[in-house]
Amino acid sequence: MMAVLGGCGITGGSDEVTLELVAADYGDTKANSSQNYWNELADAYEADHPDVHIDVTVYSWNDVDRKVREMVEAGEAPDMAQIGAYSDYAAKNLLYRADDVLSIPVQADFVSQLAAAGQVNGVQYGMPFAASTRVLFYNKTLFAEAGLTPPKSWDDLAEAAEALKAEGVKYPYALPLGPEEAPAETMQWMLSGGGGYTDTVGTYAIDSPQNVATFTWLKDELVGKDLTGPVAPGKLNRADAFAAFANGDVGMLNGHPSLMKIASKKGVEYGMVPTPGIDGESQNTLGVTDWMTAFRKNGHQEQIGDFLDFVYSDENVLDFSRQYDLLPVTSSASEVMSAAAEDKDLRPFLDELLSSELYPVGKSTWASVSAEVKKRIGQAVAPGGSPSGLLGELQTTAVRAESGE
């Protein structure tokens, strides 16, 4: 269905309300498009709420954030948007607080790390919608041929990559620092080296000694020794790295749950282990969540809240998570999934979620900082590149954004 852009959202009789939802597509074909999921959900809700109509428009992840931004700038904000960021809208007082729209039991059921990441100055505006974590995937066949066991530390990973290269493996370790999802691979490596985008009090620390050491190691020990494949990391996108893994051309890479299905379809035997860290298994891993937001403009607070309580029921959260190999964002659905035999493949990711760290999405500057990381981080490990110099430039960009320059 096309979105209703009229602004008021009222149709039919005076008691009828149309809620407009813009959402992201998690499918990779028309057959499994998220449009189908939302249409079924809307039909089920409308059957019990004849005075409320749900109009859903689904866009690809390449377009959805931009589409919503354009709608907001045109004064035509949707009632709800399921997108990648929320804090810039919250900073402009465009969003309902989570406790304005959700019932207490629903809001209290969010996984604690995800709920905390949805807060600005201690107030939750971003409602987590879908989550994932990262683990290290490895090709069991290639490892067996090279006589390898899964790595636990950076040194193990480098030694394994050397052995895989000697066996003629095209990408011993795939390092996707291309623009598609560079912030994720970057943060995964930062965390494994004891750093991150921010320090313990939430201040940007992109050029911390730990992060500089991490990217210096990557440049010298992996990229510089030709262990990351024929495509420069700054030009390698995650989707291409996943496809190469599914084709049997990658020995190791960081991956999220969807890679299981991609690899299985191609008959690749894979294993999964926690992310290697500088001195053993990484103490922290990357968690990612996407956000449901509720815009104030059309004033449908009560109807939005009732519909979102329905969206976040266990049945619907589990249905969405299972359709798209994602992790539930509520504790009750997570408990169901952790005990269900049909979800056993997702358990390693569920276990990681409890110790995961998320992007600093509560910062209204994160969207612009993330965009710079996408554009530039690959230069840090390129021949002639300077990890300390490039990370220092990104830090300067972040500090200026924070100060409003």
Find the CATH number of the domain harbouring 315. Answer: 3.40.190.10
- On whether both 192 and 45 belong to a single domain, the answer is no
- Residues 97 and 108 grouped into a single domain: yes
340 and 221 in a common domain: no
In a domain, 300, yes or no: yes
359 within a domain of the structure (yes/no) = no
Question: Is 12 inside a domain boundary?
Answer: no
Same domain as 392, residue 269: yes
- Do 37 and 178 reside in the same domain of the chain? no
Q: Is residue 149 part of a domain?
A: yes
> At 162, phi and psi to the nearest 5?
-60, -45
Quote the tokens at residue 273. Answer: 């282990």
Residue 10 lies in a domain: no
326 within 8 A of 132, measured Cβ to Cβ:
yes
- What's the number of domains the chain is made of? 2
Measured CA to CA, the distance from residue 19 to residue 257 in angstroms comes to: 32
Q: Tell me the C-alpha to C-alpha distance, in Å, between residue 118 and each of 87, 317, 357, 365.
A: 8, 18, 13, 14
Same domain, 218 and 343: no
52 close to 46: Cβ distance less than 8 angstroms? yes
Specify whether 144 is located in the same domain as 174. yes
Burial 256-266 (b: 16+ CB within 10 A, else e): bbebbebbeee
Q: What are phi and psi of 318, to 5 degrees?
A: -65, -40
Do 261 and 189 share a structural domain?
A: yes
Q: Is residue 2 situated within a structural domain?
A: no
CB neighbour list of residue 45: distance below 8 Å, 6 or more residues apart: 52, 54, 307, 310
106 & 201 share domain: no
What is the residue-level pLDDT of the chain in tens, covering all 405 positions? 333 333 333 334 457 899 999 999 988 778 888 999 999 999 999 999 999 999 999 998 878 888 999 999 999 999 999 998 899 899 899 999 999 999 999 999 999 889 999 998 889 999 999 999 999 999 999 999 999 999 999 999 999 999 999 999 999 999 999 988 899 999 999 999 999 999 988 899 999 999 999 999 999 999 999 999 999 999 999 889 999 999 999 999 999 888 998 899 999 999 999 999 999 999 888 998 999 999 999 999 999 999 999 999 999 999 999 999 899 999 999 999 999 999 988 888 888 887 788 999 888 888 889 889 999 999 999 999 999 999 999 999 999 998 875
> According to the model, what pLDDT value does residue 11 have?
38
Neighbours of 282 (CB within 10 A): 25
- Tell me the pLDDT tens digit for each residue of 291-343: 999 999 999 999 999 999 999 999 999 999 999 989 999 999 999 999 999 99
Q: Which residues contact 276 (CB under 8 A, 6 or more apart)?
A: 136, 151, 152, 153, 154, 156, 157, 192, 282
Q: Which domain holds residue 226?
A: 135-274+365-402
Let me know whether 243 and 371 are in one domain: yes
Separation CA 322–CA 67 (nearest Å): 27
